[in-house]
């Protein structure tokens, strides 16, 4: 009898969680973000750069976190997606050279070789566009810090080289960081 009652409680509990997930997906996403934050390692910008300049972004591919500082020294930290393998990304210093709202996407030649069924181009605003709503273009060809339509990727090794953020967070970063922002991927 007790195990039957516990089984009913467990099913009720699961049904309640499912209802919350359907009714308030932001609550579920907030829980994912909260869990990811526990693994973040906070970096001091002074350990990587001489001056704040126009701003600084440090993206840590190991802890899957991006920190950014504005020129006035305020800092924010976000969970990210990172490249599937170490071979797919660069590490080191670069900078933001361009910013685009609703960027179009075209796979790199190496991506087309691995996935010939992928489209040659996806226009900005298309729900299938992997760049999401904003993109910060880096001085390294093909590398971006961008949003994603697929929020399951955040906190995971899931990209082909870029750093991904939730769309809401890349929009905030886009507004706060100007072209010329210093970037380091570690």
Catalytically active residues are 146, 162
Closest among 48, 54, 47, 99 to 72, alpha carbons compared: 54
CA gap 157, 86 in Å, rounded? 10
CA 30 to chain centre: 14
Question: Which of 78, 11, 16, 88 has the alpha carbon at shortest distance from 42?
Answer: 78
How far apart, in Å, do the first and last CA atoms of the chain sit?
Answer: 56
């Amino acid at each position: 009898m007790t195990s039957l009652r516990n089984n009913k409680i467990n099913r009720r509990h699961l049904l309640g969680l499912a209802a919350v997930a359907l009714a308030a997906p932001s609550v579920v996403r907030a829980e994912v973000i909260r869990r990811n934050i526990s693994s973040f390692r906070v970096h001091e910008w002074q350990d990587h750069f001489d001056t704040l300049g126009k701003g600084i972004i440090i993206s840590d591919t190991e802890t899957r976190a991006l920190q950014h500082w504005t020129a006035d020294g305020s800092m924010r930290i976000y969970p990210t997606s990172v490249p599937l393998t170490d071979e797919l990304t660069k590490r080191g210093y670069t900078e933001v050279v361009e910013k685009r709202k609703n960027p179009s996407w075209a796979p790199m030649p190496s991506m087309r070789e691995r996935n010939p069924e992928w489209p040659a181009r996806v226009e900005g605003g298309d729900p299938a566009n992997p760049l999401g709503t904003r993109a910060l273009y880096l001085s390294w060809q093909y590398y971006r810090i961008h949003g994603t339509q697929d929020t399951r990727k955040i906190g995971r090794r899931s990209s082909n080289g870029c750093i991904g953020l939730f769309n809401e967070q890349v929009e905030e970063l886009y507004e706060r960081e100007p072209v010329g922002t210093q970037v380091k991927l570690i």
